[in-house]
Chains A and B, each alone.
Chain A
Amino acid sequence: MKHWLIFPAAFLLVIFFVFPISTMLTQSFYNTTIETSLPLTTQQLKNGVVDYEALRQDLTDEKARKVINYINHYYPGARSLFAKTINNIQDIDDLVEFDSRWADPGLWKVLEYETHSFTAKNYTKIFESVDSVYFKVLTQTLIISLAITLVTVLLSYPLAYFLTTVTNRWHFVLIMFCILLPFFTSYLSRLVAWLVLLQKNGLINQILSNFDMSLNLMYNTAGIFIGSVYIVLPMAVLPIYAAMRNIDMSLIKTGSIVGANKYQVFRDIYFPLTKTGIYNAALLVFMTVIGFYTTPALLGGSKGKFITEQIVYHMEVSLNWGLATALTSTLLIIILIIFYFYSRANKDLYRD
């Protein structure tokens, strides 16, 4: 065996996969926002001292602004307090005199807590209760993704079977072209096409209005469904089709000659032989869908139904990278768990 053949791919994997992921995992447990932005205050807090003067000096530095959104997350009202103080910092000698809120033990408790560099708080925030926003969005993402996977596989199975029965080469090419069509155009332009078709005054609703009907097909879960299923359909059709093509026809013939009727042949012989294809398709579709961002963002409405939308929000708007990476890591772990079940299910199948 030529082990060195894997070196280039392994090198790429380490640089672009292992390294970023481990950084992400560490980031989700570490918390350096306060430490880098308010160094003197952190120093004093670590010694157990609440030092107003140290904080005043930290606030003279522009980089202190970075913590505003972050602290506001845990201490409502911090945004205005920090902004007001930083804007007038040149004229302030005593913080408590300027605004009595600086003496609030609640604020200092937050600051003190945030200076611990190792923390599991990002995770406890996600899982603190079943009512927490993140937990809700996470379960919602999971349920929608599973449902999309199920629907996609159910739609793909008969389609893949139909493909195996096509004997004319040009018909096959034409059908394959239609199935692969979503891959030929850019992701965004496809979604924009959906907007034209599905919106309130879109093509479908214009036709339906002739019958005095209208459907809400966009800016809700239905929108996510329609957009996602369409995009991942080829990913499900191809593995299932491959599994069907590999079926030895003499097995089907045997089934029928030993006494199984058409339904029994399907249930006992044909279907089990396509299981690998179904598992592959489901895994591929699920892993793709759970990481979808553009589709739910464009077609799913403004409610932030998908966990990816939360991740992007904390990356770009609230700048709470710890929470963003914790959410990403949770997503990764869910996929790993699913992958474990997938490999277990596949292990039980025969190897020929």
Chain B
Amino acid sequence: MLELKNITKQYKSKTALNAVDLQIQSGEFVSILGPSGSGKSTLLNCISGFDNDFVGDILVDNNSIKKVPSNKRNIGMVFQHYALFPYMTALENIAYPLKMRKQSIDQAKEILDKVGLADYSNKYPHQLSGGQQQRIALARAMVYNPKVVLMDEPLGALDLKLRNELQVFIKDMHKEYCTTTVYVTHDLVEAFSLSDRIVVLNNGVIEQVDTPKNIYKTPANEFVKDFITSGLQHIQTLSRVIQ
């Protein structure tokens, strides 16, 4: 279980996160949805340990990790631009976390097979397509069975077709590994189709936390309502244009 307790992050002139309280159950898939600058990435930086300059506490399975350095937190992370180590092959990339833990790399081969890229184990990132690279990045974030996986707009750099394909892939991976996942996005469709629960974030404040269905049916306030209807309008406009 991942617990965020009253997290407040203050920049010089701006409050990036204001008293954020959140409980995520083990194995749950939670999306953090919000417009640009709403504090989504700041929140991930706090959880991952890149930013320790905040008020409040973060607990994993009831233990505070605030004073634990990033490399000891046992958290996985996927970035928008894959962040694969360019001079390592696909397999070496996935095996790297295992090497740091002095574990055998058999698991890396196994997961490479699972993401359907067994034939590409000796390829370098620049020889792979964007979709393939993101699969490798996902495999690397999962291979050491982290307690929590953070995904920072992992599909943001891909085209629509690949995005849909990888959504299914992420869903399948989550079903298989049941890792607690925090998925940051500003894409309504991604959030709705992937998540158990959605957190709507605006200006560093949580506006609503609920299942996709409840958020759609009973938005807590005007902001949530507007955010969702404007997102859905895109889809409606699109289908109207096509017809």
Contact of B144 among A251, A255, A259, A273 (CB under 8 A): A259
Interface centre among A250, A251, A352 (most CB of B within 10 A): A250
**Min CB distance, B215 to chain A, in Å?**
29
Are the CB atoms of A257 and B77 closer together than 8 Å?
Answer: yes
Residues of B close to A261: CB separation below 8 A: 69, 71
A268 to B93 alpha-carbon distance, docked (Å): 11
Residues of B close to A256: CB separation below 8 A: 49-50, 69-71
**Min CB distance, A274 to chain B, in Å?**
12
**Min CB distance, A24 to chain B, in Å?**
40
A269 to B99 alpha-carbon distance, docked (Å): 14
DSSP class of A's interface residues: helix, strand, loop or mixed? helix
Contact of A349 among B71, B87, B97, B144 (CB under 8 A): B87
Closest to A272 in B: B87
Are the CB atoms of A257 and B70 closer together than 8 Å?
Answer: yes
Contact of B126 among A251, A260, A352 (CB under 8 A): A352
Which residues of chain B from 3 to 58 have any CB-CB distance to chain A below 8 Å in the complex? 48-50
Are the CB atoms of B48 and A257 closer together than 8 Å?
Answer: yes
Cβ of B125 within 8 Å of any chain A Cβ, yes or no, is: yes
Cβ of B204 within 8 Å of any chain A Cβ, yes or no, is: no
Residues of B close to A268: CB separation below 8 A: 85, 96
Number of residues on chain B facing chain A (CB within 8 A): 28
Chain B 131-162, CB-CB to A under 8 Å as 1, else 0, gives 00000000011001000000000000000000
Are the CB atoms of A251 and B85 closer together than 8 Å?
Answer: yes
**Min CB distance, A267 to chain B, in Å?**
11
Closest to A258 in B: B97
Residues of B close to A349: CB separation below 8 A: 87
Residues of B within 8 A of A (CB): 48-50, 69-77, 79, 81, 83, 85-87, 96-97, 100-101, 124-126, 140-141, 144
The list of the 4 closest CB pairs from A to B, nearest first, reads A259-B100, A258-B97, A250-B83, A350-B86
Residues of A within 8 A of B (CB): 248, 250-251, 253-261, 264, 268-269, 272-273, 349-352
Instruction: A253-B79, A257-B76, A258-B96 given; name 16 further pairs at CB < 8 Å.
Output: A248-B83, A250-B79, A251-B83, A251-B85, A254-B79, A258-B77, A258-B100, A258-B140, A259-B74, A259-B144, A260-B100, A261-B69, A269-B85, A350-B124, A350-B125, A352-B126
